[in-house]
């Protein structure tokens, strides 16, 4: 009952801010991490049980079977223009608790800066072209613990955001996430509340006089220091794993994203709350080879004949796990539903056990 009241409180508070908060703030943190999850269309908050729990649901960190885990991922979007990187470390503190640290970067590098292309005499001088990067960073510190209630796990993230636009602008932000997982007989239930207190990004701009003059001459607005608010998002999920035979098993999950920043073009639209469902399945063989499928990003569109229809985005993935090393691949996108812009995503996970390393040193 307390969890339900908490969700209602979050939704009510977000309604107060929704009039001034922008949609899609810190949206790079909605892409997802780990090729396993991306292959399942980000349907992963209830069944996540590895180092990527620091992103998906920190409660899952307590399900890590080894002493340490390291996770890495690299992806490129928009024909390689944008680079998306992720790294994480997680470790067990004791039999009931665990912690983790995650880094996410989404950036576009080597962008030409042509604001100084024309010199004071009105001449075009290509030597005056420089370059800069636009990058978003997130640093997440996670802690999780098993409850005394059997099957119940909970965790939280402290999240620091850093966003940079060359030397022109930067922003620092701070936020909190909280997550719960609960095993109910054969079913797995999950709740992830992102930006539970709203995440605030404080933007500061440093433009030189030449750049200001260019902005004024071209009719561009001069940016001012401001604060950007990321409103809470609540994700509810249900999943289950079952054995098909001695060597085959299947895992499935369906999630519902409840955004609180106003009406969005998703399957169930509302103001301020919209609901975006997505689902994924994974079929495993001998816990070594995995095939994954997912569907999500349901949207309502109107074709050239003014007919309304529902579109969706399918995802695909495979994985191999052997002797503490997992290699995962996903064929996915960040949501524009264009086949031409689908990306190949690879991720690695390393399981490390202190006892194994101790044995190797004494052999």
**Local confidence band at 356 (pLDDT 50, 70, 90 cut-offs):** low
Q: Which residues 6+ apart lie within 8 Å of 202 measured at CB?
A: 171, 172, 173, 225, 227
Which tokens is 124 given? Answer: 């075009």
- Whether residue 362 is predicted with pLDDT greater than 50 in this model: the reply is no
CATH code of 2-362, in short, is 2.40.160.40
Average confidence (pLDDT) over 127-141: 89
Closest CA to 35 of 351, 361, 324, 315: 315
- Whether residue 118 is predicted with pLDDT greater than 80 in this model: the reply is no
Q: What is the pLDDT of residues 196-211, one digit of tens each?
A: 988 888 988 887 776 7
**Local confidence band at 348 (pLDDT 50, 70, 90 cut-offs):** very high
Question: CA-CA distance, 318 to 340, in Å (whole number)?
Answer: 20
- Position 142 scores a pLDDT of 97
Average confidence (pLDDT) over 309-335: 90
Q: What is the pLDDT of residues 71-92, one digit of tens each?
A: 999 998 887 889 999 999 999 9
Question: CA-CA distance, 112 to 131, in Å (whole number)?
Answer: 4
Top-confidence residue, 234 or 16 = 234
Q: What is the largest CA-CA distance in the chain?
A: 79
Question: CA-CA distance, 257 to 275, in Å (whole number)?
Answer: 5
Q: What is the pLDDT of residues 10-22, one digit of tens each?
A: 333 334 333 345 5
- Position 39 scores a pLDDT of 95
- Position 192 scores a pLDDT of 97
- Computed over every residue of the chain, the mean pLDDT equals 85
Contact 294, 281 (CB under 8 A): yes
- Position 337 scores a pLDDT of 54
- Whether residue 24 is predicted with pLDDT greater than 70 in this model: the reply is no
- Whether residue 212 is predicted with pLDDT greater than 80 in this model: the reply is no
Q: What is the pLDDT of residues 220-229, one digit of tens each?
A: 777 778 888 8
Contact 263, 274 (CB under 8 A): yes
- Whether residue 115 is predicted with pLDDT greater than 80 in this model: the reply is no
Q: Is 6 exposed, middle or buried (0-12, 13-18, 19+ CB in 10 A)?
A: middle
- Whether residue 132 is predicted with pLDDT greater than 50 in this model: the reply is yes
- Whether residue 185 is predicted with pLDDT greater than 50 in this model: the reply is yes
- Position 266 scores a pLDDT of 84
- Position 116 scores a pLDDT of 74
- Whether residue 259 is predicted with pLDDT greater than 70 in this model: the reply is yes
Average confidence (pLDDT) over 248-275: 89
- Whether residue 270 is predicted with pLDDT greater than 60 in this model: the reply is yes
Q: What is the pLDDT of residues 150-184, one digit of tens each?
A: 999 999 999 999 999 888 889 999 999 999 999 99
Closest CA to 292 of 42, 31, 33, 29: 42
Please state which of the ranges 84-88, 129-133, 144-148 shows the lowest mean pLDDT.
Answer: 129-133
- Position 264 scores a pLDDT of 82
Average confidence (pLDDT) over 127-136: 85
Its sign, for the CA torsion 329, 350, 253, 142, is: negative
- Position 14 scores a pLDDT of 37
Contact 232, 21 (CB under 8 A): no
Query: Angle at Cα 17 formed by Cα 13 and Cα 22, nearest 5°?
Result: 135
- Whether residue 216 is predicted with pLDDT greater than 80 in this model: the reply is no
- Position 22 scores a pLDDT of 56
């Amino acid at each position: 009952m307390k969890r339900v009241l908490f969700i209602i409180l979050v939704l009510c508070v977000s309604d107060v801010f929704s009039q001034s908060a922008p949609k899609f703030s810190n949206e790079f943190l909605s892409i997802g991490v780990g090729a396993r999850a991306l292959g399942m269309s980000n349907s992963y908050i209830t069944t996540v049980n590895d180092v990527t729990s620091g992103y998906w649901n920190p409660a899952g960190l307590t399900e890590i079977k080894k002493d340490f885990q390291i996770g890495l991922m690299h992806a490129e979007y928009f024909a390689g223009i944008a680079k998306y990187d992720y790294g994480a470390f997680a470790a067990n503190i004791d039999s009931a608790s665990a912690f983790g640290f995650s880094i996410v970067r989404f950036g576009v590098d080597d962008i030409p800066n042509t604001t100084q292309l024309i010199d004071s005499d009105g001449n075009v001088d290509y030597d005056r072209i420089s370059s800069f990067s636009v990058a978003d960073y997130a640093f997440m510190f996670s802690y999780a613990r098993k409850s005394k209630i059997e099957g119940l796990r909970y965790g939280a993230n402290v999240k620091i955001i850093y966003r940079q636009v060359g030397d022109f602008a930067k922003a620092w932000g701070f936020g909190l996430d909280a997550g719960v997982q609960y095993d109910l007989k054969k079913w797995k239930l999950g709740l992830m509340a992102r930006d539970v207190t709203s995440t605030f990004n404080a933007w500061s701009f440093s433009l030189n006089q030449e750049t200001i003059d260019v902005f004024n001459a071209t009719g561009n607005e001069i940016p001012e220091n401001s604060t950007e608010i990321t409103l809470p998002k609540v994700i509810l999920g249900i999943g289950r794993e079952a054995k098909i035979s001695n060597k085959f098993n299947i895992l499935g999950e369906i999630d519902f994203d409840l955004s609180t920043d106003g009406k969005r073009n998703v399957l169930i639209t509302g103001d301020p709350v919209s609901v975006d469902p997505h689902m994924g399945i994974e079929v495993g063989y001998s816990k070594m080879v995995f095939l994954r499928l997912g569907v999500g990003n349901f949207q309502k569109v109107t074709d050239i004949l003014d007919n309304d229809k529902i579109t969706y985005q399918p995802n695909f993935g495979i994985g191999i796990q052997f002797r503490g090393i997992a290699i995962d691949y996903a064929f996915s996108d960040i949501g524009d539903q264009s086949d031409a812009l689908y990306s190949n995503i690879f991720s690695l996970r390393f399981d490390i056990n202190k006892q194994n390393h101790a044995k190797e040193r004494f052999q």
